[in-house]
Structure 1
Amino acid sequence: MPDDPYKALGLTKTATADEIKKAYRKLVRTSHPDLHPDDPGAEARFKAIAAAHDVLKDPETRARFDAGEIDATGAERPKREYYRDFADSSDNVYQQRRAAGAQGNPKDFFEEILRQRARGAGGSGGFGGGFSAPGQDARYNLEVPFLDAVRGAEQRITLPDGQSLAVKIPQGTEDGQTLRLRGKGEAGYGGGAAGDALITVKVGEHSVFRREGDDILLTLPITIDEAVLGGKVSAPTIDGPVGLTIPKGASSGRTLRLRGRGVTRAGSKTKGDQMVELKIVSPPEVDAALSDFLMEWRKTHEFDPRADLMKGAGT
């Protein structure tokens, strides 16, 4: 996996959120294994692209990567410790920390400082110099239903110790977005503030709706007569069914826009749209009346929807 998610998407650190989104969509089309089943390297490229997008699409996660707090996989980086920070202190545990190896746990490091201070205070259990440090952040994953993510909801997550934590899902939450619950992480040291809980959201798929940015996508089946004659039909939206006018002579693949029927992000006054793609569906059984009518219509009408296609292909 690339160490730099910007390079994985072919971008620089100055890329805007819109440029990140466009680069990801473009690369997905060229690397998705379902679209390129004969390309043995497609799956690996797609995984690298998806991992890079997960880090950069959320402004908070991107800022933490840019600051060196997390790596390209989203994992926490250990905080750097310098000898000069401890060389003049009576609680110098730098040598013990170094002897324990570079992979030591920061939690063990702070606990050793507390033990040193406790011994310096005559074993009374006090901290002598008043040392304190914030607790570590705790990371969790939470799967959220599609409609709960776009409309907002509240869910509970069970922690490793058996306790439950209420998590407010903001309106418009995206797949892979990280929510921060301040003070809900591990306890601090010596009276220090507790760390935060970082909840990474996995948005489930919906059987009808799809999402692209703040727009909702929907494929709407219509009958042959609705396509030819037009008319008003009922179409589902994330907020309930609405009336939709089908224009006369509509074809499969035509897309209609329902303005303001998309996603509203928390704290935003703007709302996306719903894009409705029409799909003509024949009746499950073609009766004699329909068959006879179309046979007579064919005899008296010349219409070839493939004429321009064949002309453009030079055949």
Structure 2
Amino acid sequence: MRKEWLETDYYAVLGVSKEASDKDIKKAYRKLAQQYHPDKNPGDAAAETRFKQANEAYDVLGDTDQRKEYDHARQMGQFVGTPGGGHQYVRVEDLFGEGGAPFDLFGSGFGDLFGRAGGGGVRSTPRRGAHISAEMALTFHEAIAGVTKELSVNGARVKVKIPHGIEDGSRIRVRGKGAPGMNGASPGDLYVTVRVGSHPVFGRKGANLTLTVPITFVEAALGATITVPTLGDPVKLKVPAGTATGKTFRVSGRGVASAKSTGDLMVTVEVTVPAALSDEQRAKLEEFGALDPAANPRAHLGMS
């Protein structure tokens, strides 16, 4: 147990009740992680702090054993930290020292705290090691294809297997690679949060890839078959006549493949307008406009 366990209400950090289910805790964490993700809030120190707080809270509450220990610690902290009731008031600083060093409330420290009054001896209790959080940077293609990479944790090299199709902000649990346990207890776990880099062409929304493709106004008006890139071979896409800018087409099965499913490629067309026209081109367009002088796309707005 650490000093911050008594000082910080991790349930409040995640915005859930103490009776919240594991599913609700995970859902609340993911919502906060997305809301305050550094990529969505560049240069925002407050958002970065909230993001780190959410990760710290989920490291504890997201693990069943750690959560039980945390709840117990909070209860004992209230017991020893509340004046009255026949017990001497004890400050957090008295438990941990001014430097905030870890204090084993359930092991030797707990026995020492209360044993002096009762004359009992100090008992060394096995304590599982703390969990460790780390981040790992991945390229867009590494996240899509999956990869095994190494991290340096407490001076040791740890191999982390990244499954294919992983999303930015996802966390991977590596069992037994956290801090060592005390008195023969098992070590904690390592939680790795992945940070996926961007791609110069594709975007990503879950299992789907997104792509914006420019088309000419002639292709938009008359229709065309265009070639679009994918993560594999290029594919043909039929653009119907009369397609407006912003129209999105779905190319099935060309998204991100994961262990559960494969997403699609969502292609959004953007109609481009030439910045300069030759005299002949201008004349042709004026001739085209004269063929339907009553056409007014702003008529529904009451404008000419």
Q: Same fold (TM over 0.5)?
A: yes
Alignment of 1:77-156 (within 5 A): 80=73, 99-101=94-96, 105-106=101-102, 132-156=126-150
Aligned to 1:238: 231
CA shift in 2, pair 1:281/1:158, >3 Å: farther
Question: For the Cα contact (< 8 Å) 1:147–1:238, is it kept in 2?
Answer: no
Q: Equivalents in 2 of 1:2, 1:63: separation in Å? A: 10
Name the residue aligned to 1:288. 279
Measure how far apart 1:51 and its partner are.
Answer: 4.1
Counterpart residue type for residue 207 of structure 2: D
Rate the CA distance shift 1:305–1:155 in 2: closer, same or farther, 3 A: farther
Question: Over aligned residues, Cα RMSD in angstroms?
Answer: 4.8
Cα distance in 2, alignment partners of residues 136 and 193 from structure 1: 10
Tell me the equivalent position of 1:5: 14
Equivalents in 2 of 1:54, 1:241: separation in Å? Answer: 41
1:177 equivalent in structure 2: 170
Partner of 1:297: 288
What are the equivalent positions in structure 2 for 1:1-315 lying under 5 Å apart? 3-6=12-15, 47=47, 51=51, 61=58, 64-65=61-62, 69=66, 80=73, 99-101=94-96, 105-106=101-102, 132-161=126-155, 163-265=156-258, 267-268=259-260, 270-283=261-274, 285-302=276-293, 303-308=295-300, 310-311=301-302
Residue 278 of structure 1 deviates from its aligned partner by 0.8
With over 3 angstroms needed to count, the CA separation of the structure-2 counterparts of 1:237 and 1:6, relative to structure 1, is: farther
Aligned equivalents of 1:53 and 1:226: distance in 2?
51
Aligned partner letter, 1:184: K
DSSP 3-state at the match of 1:218 = strand
5+ residue gaps, structure 1: 35-42, 71-75, 84-94, 117-128
Q: Alignment identity in percent?
A: 28
Alpha-carbon contact 1:54-1:176 (below 8 Å) kept: no
Q: CA deviation at 1:282?
A: 2.6
SS of equivalent to 1:291: helix
Spell out, residue by residue over 1:178-200, the C-alpha distance to the aligned partner (whole angstroms, 9 max, x if none): 11111222223344322221111
SS of the residue corresponding to residue 271 of structure 1 reads: coil
Shift of 1:146: 2.5
Q: Corresponding residue for 1:125?
A: none
Give the AA of the match of 2:152: T
Question: CA 1:133/1:4 → structure 2, altered by over 3 Å: closer, same or farther?
Answer: closer
Q: If the length of structure 1 is used for normalisation, what is the TM-score?
A: 0.62
Q: How far did residue 244 of structure 1 move? A: 1.3
CA positional deviation for 1:263: 2.4
TM-score (norm: length of structure 2) = 0.64
Equivalenced residue count is 258
Offset at 1:257?
0.9
CA distance in 2 between partners of 1:157 and 1:305 (Å): 59
| Structure 2 counterpart SS, 1:263 | coil
- Return the alpha-carbon distance in structure 2 between the equivalents of residues 225 and 239 of structure 1: 29
Is 1:150–1:173's contact at 8 Å kept on the other side of the alignment?
A: yes
TM superposition shift of 1:262: 2.0
Give, in whole Å, the separation in 1 of the partners of 2:30 and 2:188.
31
CA contact (8 A) 2:176 2:186 kept: yes
Amino acid of the structure 1 residue aligned with 2:296: D
Q: CA deviation at 1:98?
A: 9.2
Mapped partners of 1:33, 1:168: distance in 2: 28
Aligned-pair CA distance for 1:279: 0.2
Stretches of structure 2 that go unaligned for 5 or more consecutive residues are: 1-9, 78-89, 113-122
Q: Distance in 1 between matches of 2:53 and 2:206?
A: 14
2:241 aligned partner, one-letter code: K
